[in-house]
Every structure is written in structure tokens, then in C-alpha cells.
Amino acid sequence: MSTTALTHHVRVLAAPGHRHEEILTPAALEFIGRLAEAFEPRRRDLMKERRRQVLRLASGSPLEFPMVTAAVRDDPTWRVAPPAPGLTDRRVEITGPPDRRMAVNALNSGAKVWMADFEDATAPLWDNVIGGQLTLLDAIERRIDFTTPEGKEYRLGEELATIVVRPRGWHLDEEHLEYDGRPVPAALVDFGLYFFHCAQRQIDAGYGPYFYLPKLENRYEARLWNDIFVLAQELLGIPRGTIRATVLIETITAAFEMEEILYQLREHSSGLNAGRWDYLFSLIKTFGHRTDFLLPDRAKVTMTAPFMRAYTELLVRTCHRRGAHAIGGMAAHVPGKDPAANEAALAKVRLDKEREAEDGFDGSWVAHPGLVPVCRAVFDGVLGERPHQQDRIRDDVEVTPVDLLSVRRISGPPTPEGVRTNVLVALRYFAAWLRGQGAVAINGMMEDAATAEIARVQIWQWLRHRVIDRATVEEILDDEVAALGAEYPWAPVDDIRALFERTTLAGELPLFFTPDAYTRHLVRGTEARA
């Protein structure tokens, strides 16, 4: 690492925790400081550009495939980097927070990849952030085995999933670390700590430092990540191109720049993923002021909707033209104790995965180890012994901007059940999030930040267009808050209700997971109570 003195040092604002000193070493903090020094100004400029884009689209500017990058899309010769070790066969990927129990279960699950998720599945309490880094370090060192107080053993097996880390999005800050008087971007914290401690360890084990990149909105944000990868590898003496990154296409603007995003990351790219729930959240966030983008109940907006089909088929075509993996969306069902309910849920999962495999996806996501055999059986039936199906170029697919934005065919008012379900999911997820859980089973589904976002933003949209009235929502809110307090006496129901009102019933759409003063107060209050 360069010996040039930093202008500022990274300051830790949180109290020391158990084994935190193993992660927050002076050298690791210096590494993060170098990344912040080099890239935080660009990050801030890109966040300003996001706001300008929102205003442009709200004022009626059309969303199109960029004319200035037509040459990139029209050039048939460029390809992304070949698959890295451990990422050639990705037919089943499991996702979840980087806690020790989840890590052992996911690594042993039979999935090809485990996405250790610091973003949607992790509440950003400091112990979760640093504890997740310790989990990854211990898993790589194979010292993660443990026994619970109840006597249940968790032990790593012989065949383990490949670890891929999802850092938090560009829009989030890490309030517990400060550089130059500002919070350090959360993405640089999650990426930097893992890369500093684990990149060489993963290379020595025959793999590499692999990442999922969330919430990108355009090619410039992908270029920023690529430049970070280049500098990070240079600082630690790791060969350029060792890093691999899969980008989640989970914003509507990114769907119009899939090729450009792959192009910017091409020496470090390992493909694209269809992040369905955040994609719907982004659609409403971007066009929620328009009545022609009014969506019905979340359960009715399936992947067979024409605009969702356009999005996923374009993703497969784009990836396979460029030699990249196309990874399908999440199956979020959580197996329960009712055999009939399980059978019905697994049948839905199987149909969803069959559609993805037949469309050309190379693999797909599940949220629970119990879904791995179903997903694997479907992709085994299509792939056989092949590791992927990138030979299916899908030249039959032609997608226009109109196709990506045509939601009229499924538009319609919500049902009373749909309204109540969204209120319930939002409240119970907020309760879990404030307790430090970023992923929680609710009504047989694994809910995380993405599903909580679509639940609350739909309520906001329906209220805005007056297809439901506020009195109805408040009546449901009263019922669900009372039920929550009765079922979970530990829940801070006043905070939860206030958070729902602040992020859902407001006249303008606030972003819950943007850490404004209100949510920072709640997070710190939760930490103090803990």
C-alpha cells in the first residue's frame, strides 16, 4: 500500500465491540480512507445526478436507451471477462444476512453461491456490520463452527457455496465511521473491509473476492465501482481483473443501460441479476406521480406481466450477447409445518424457476435452504452437465422503451386484502429492522428491505391517486399496531408506528433507507436499548 500520508484519517465513532479490533485495524481503516479520499467526491456528484434525473423524469422527459452510447450497444465484438473460479456454474444461489447461523446453513445448503448480504437483509446496526465481517473472515478460515446454548451444532461441510458479498448501496452512509468530517459511504466500508481482510485469503483458497452491486442507476455508477476495483487491487498488490462483480438490475433507469453497465465493468464483470422487488419499488418511486403507472396488489404483479417479461428477457439477451451470466429473481417462500401449504408454495416456486430456466437464465436465487433442491432440480433439467446456457443468445428478443414501461395491462385498484397485507408487512419488517434483523419470515415469506419498500410505497401510491383513503389505512394501521404489540411485547410500537407514518403516509415519498436524521435517531436508539 502507498506510504503517502492521508490528508485525513478514518475515525471510529462507535464504542469497541467483541473482536472488533480484528476488523478495524489501523491498516484496514487506512485502506478505507484511501478509497474515500479518491472516490467520495465522485459519489456525492452521482447522488446529485440521481436527484436531477428524478426531476427530469417527473417533468416529462422520456426514458430512452441512451443515444450517446449506441456505439457500445451496436458493437458485437466486446465481451466481459471469462467466469472466475467458483462462478462458472451458478444454477442456484442462496441469499441472506452474514450472521453465523445463516452463513453455515447457506454454505452447506447445496447452492453454488451464497450472497452474504450487507444491504437488504442486514439492519445497519454497528454490531451487525462488523459482526458480518467477522463471520466472513471466520468462514473463510473455517473456524466458524459453533454449538448453540440449546445444544444444536453448526458445522461446515466439505462442499461449500462460493461466497459473494453484497455491500450497501451508494445512497447509504456508515454513521459510525468518519472521514474528512463526513460519514464514510457504506458501500466503501462493506467492500473495503471484506476486500482488505479476505481478498488474498480467497485467492489462496482458489477463488477470489466476488461482489454483488446493488441499486445502480446508470453506467456512471458502474464506472465508479470499476475504478474502485482497479485502485483497491493496486493498493493491495492483487492482479487487476481478479475481482468479479454481478450487478443487480433493480432500478428502472438501469434497465435502459444494461449493456453500458456491463461494458463499464467488463474486466471485472460476472453478469447481471433481475432484482424484481426493488425494480418495482424503483418504478413507483420514479413514475408514481403518474396514474398510468398505478400498480395493483403486490401479489398480482408477477414475472409474467408484460413489462416484467420485457425486463427479464432483455437481461438474458444482454448478458448472453456479452458472455455474462444472467441470474434470475428471488424465491422468497419459507417452508413451514403445514404439508399442504408447503406443497402449494413449492409448486409456485417450481413454475417460477421453470420459466426462468426456459427463458435462458443461467441460475436463480432462493432465500431459504429448503428451496435449493427445487431450484436445482429445475435448472439441472435444462442445463444437464453444462454450467450455464450462454449459448442461448436470444436474438429473438426485441425490447423497446415502450415495452419496459407498459404497465397498463396489469394496472388496477388494490384489494382490501392487498392493502392490509402491505401494512402488515411494512410494520412487522420495521419491528424486525429496529430489533436488528434485516430479513424476517412473515406469513410464509422471507421479507427484507426490498419487499418492505414495495409494501410501503404501494400504500403511498394508492393514497396519492386516491384509490384508497387515508382513514381506511389508519384503521388498518391501528389494528395491526395493536396486533403487533400483543404478539411482540418487546416491540417499540410507538417508534414503529411513527416510522410507518413518516415513510408511508407523507405527502411526498421519502426514502426509508436513506439515513436521514429521523432514521439515524431510531437506529442509535435501538443500539442504546440493545
Q: Which residues carry out catalysis?
A: 166, 448
All three cell numbers of 40, joined, read: 467520495
What letter would DSSP give residue 39?
H
| CA–CA separation, 509 and 114 (whole Å) | 33
With beta carbons less than 8 A apart as the criterion, state whether 382 and 389 touch. yes
SS percent in the chain: helix, strand, coil, step 5: 50, 10, 35
C-alpha span between 172 and 157 (Å, rounded): 35
Grid cell locating 362: 443461467
Cell numbers for 415 = 384489494
- 266 touches 79 (CB < 8 A): yes
Query: What's the CA gap between 103 and 122, in Å, rounded?
Result: 13
Partners of residue 92 on adjacent β-strands? 364
Per DSSP, 521 falls in state: H
Question: What amino acid occupies position 39?
Answer: F
The two counts, helices (H) then strands (E), for the chain are: 19, 15
Going from the C-alpha of 231 to that of each of 36, 72, 199, 274, 388, the distances in angstroms are: 11, 25, 14, 28, 31
Burial grade of 373 (CB within 10 A; 0-12, 13-18, 19 or more): middle
Strand partners, 284: none
Chain position carrying cell 388498518? 476
What DSSP state is assigned to residue 333? Answer: B
Counting Cα atoms < 13 Å in the Cβ hemisphere of 159 gives 4
DSSP track, 215-281:
---SHHHHHHHHHHHHHHHHHHTPPTT--EEEEEE-SHHHHTTHHHHHHHTTTTEEEEEE-HHHHHH
Q: How far apart are the first and last CA of the chain?
A: 38
Asked whether 262 and 322 are in contact (CB, 8 A), the reply is yes
d(CA 182, CA 252): 30
Owner of C-alpha cell 429473481 = 329
